[in-house]
Amino acid sequence: ETGVTQSPTHLIKTRGQQVTLRCSSQSGHNTVSWYQQALGQGPQFIFQYYREEENGRGNFPPRFSGLQFPNYSSELNVNALELDDSALYLCASSLTGDGMRYTFGSGTRLTVV
């Protein structure tokens, strides 16, 4: 059984650029959620995807967007990067109906300069 893998592990971007982060869900999981964790803070919910449709969204602007593919892998896209977007981005997969047993990835550390 494979876990959740995220790529890349680290990334440096310039303000105004666009970035795509990738997540491969745990085998058998059909739901993926993305979280942003700023330094010293707990993870904050960005959005969730289930069967390739957005299934809930947190308080993030539209420049944060996502995709889920038929194999349940997922992407997080952020446009017009701002310095405050610097954070650890976590992907978590789960199986709907499994009591919210999330499996988290190790995260992508994004630095915006």
Partner 1 sequence: AQRVTQPEKLLSVFKGAPVELKCNYSYSGSPELFWYVQYSRQRLQLLLRHISRESIKGFTADLNKGETSFHLKKPFAQEEDSAMYYCALSPTGNQFYFGTGTSLTVIP
Give yes or no for residue 106 binding partner 1 (CB under 8 A).
Answer: yes
Site string for partner 1, 30-59 (x = CB under 8 A): -x-x-x----xxxxxx--x-x----xx-x-
Q: 107, 108, 110, 112: which one contacts partner 1 (CB under 8 A)?
A: 107
Q: 72, 86, 93, 105: which one contacts partner 1 (CB under 8 A)?
A: 105
The full DSSP string for 52-80 is TEEEEE-S--TTEEEEE-TTS-EEEEE-S
In the complex with partner 1, the residue whose CB is nearer, 14 or 40, is 40
Q: Phi, psi (5° rounding) for residue 84?
A: -70, -10
Helix (H, G, I), strand (E, B) or coil at 40: coil
Hey, which residues between 4 and 23 contact partner 1 (CB under 8 A)? 4
User: Residue 91 CA to chain centroid, in angstroms?
Assistant: 4
Q: What is the Cα gyration radius of the chain?
A: 13
In the complex with partner 1, the residue whose CB is nearer, 73 or 103, is 103
Stretch that binds partner 1, among 14-22, 28-36, 60-68, 73-81 (CB under 8 A): 28-36
Element (H, E) at 93: strand 87-94
Cα–Cα distance measured from residue 52 to residue 32, given in angstroms and rounded to the nearest whole number: 9
Q: Which residues in this chain contact partner 1 in the complex, by CB under 8 A? A: 3-4, 31, 33, 35, 40-45, 48, 50, 55-56, 58, 90, 99-107
